[in-house]
Amino acid sequence: MSPEFGMFPLSTVLFPGAGLPLHVFEDRYRALMAHCLAADLEFGVVLIVRGSEVGGGDERTDVGTVAAIANVAELDGGRLLVVATGVRRVRVDAWLPDDPYPRAVVADLPDGPCGDATGALAVAETSVRRLRSLLSELGDVPALPHNLRITGGPTAVGWQLCDMAPLTALDLQRLLAAEDLHRRMELLAELCDAMAGDVLGLLAGDPGV
């Protein structure tokens, strides 16, 4: 039987290993945080495809990330500042009623086998760095320092590269849902290179971009 999780739909994508700051003020999500803190539970994060984070009635993706609460600070009026960390991918098998907060039946979604992804990781890192460097010329995002070393095992490095990529939420969701590390890094390089081409056009003053 797949476990039932409290869910936090957001307009952002959370990758395993990445940090997630949350300002919690809606009653339903305050209830979710209270339940997780009382029982030392994790919760799920999914991307909202259509709709708003506030008020419900949104359309959500079916691949998300389990998040663990790392720190909580209480504010006035019962509001919370929460810092969570992505743990692992999950697939939503069924949505349950949003009472008292969004809930779903989920199953773990591990990566499939992919063999040696060293080359794909290197190409993806080059593409992420290049895109961020180009966007820094527009003042959008800072370039990555040349001496920045991305450490960890291949899977962890892959997730870090995804988190560093200045892509749209829907493109980041595609990376989260990719079947394995090798395909994820290939897709990351493709998406970054495509956006880099658009940025080069902007920098060159191309009106067609």
| Number of structural domains in the chain | 2
Average pLDDT of the chain is 91
- Separation CA 77–CA 61 (nearest Å): 31
Give the per-residue pLDDT at 110. 93
Q: Is 126 part of any domain?
A: yes
For residue 52, give both structure tokens: 């708003």
Q: Is 58 part of any domain?
A: yes
**Percent of the chain whose predicted confidence (pLDDT) is above 90:** 77
Q: Is residue 176 exposed (0-12), middle (13-18) or buried (19+ Cβ within 10 Å)? A: buried
Give the per-residue pLDDT at 194. 96
- Separation CA 42–CA 69 (nearest Å): 7
Measured in whole angstroms, the distance separating CA 126 from the mean position of its chain's CA atoms is: 20
Domain around 130: 118-203
Residue type, 31: A
Coil, helix or strand at residue 142? coil
Instruction: Please work out, in degrees rounded to the nearest 5, the angle formed at the alpha carbon of residue 3 by the alpha carbons of 68 and 102.
Output: 70
Give the per-residue pLDDT at 55. 58
- Which pLDDT band holds residue 1 (cuts at 50, 70, 90)? very low
Indicate whether 197 pLDDT > 50: yes
Digit-coded pLDDT (tens) for 120-174: 999 999 999 999 999 999 888 999 998 899 999 999 999 999 999 999 999 999 9
* One domain, residues 67 and 143: no
Cα end-to-end span (Å), the chain: 50
Domain of 100, CATH number, reads 2.30.130.40
| The model's pTM | 0.91
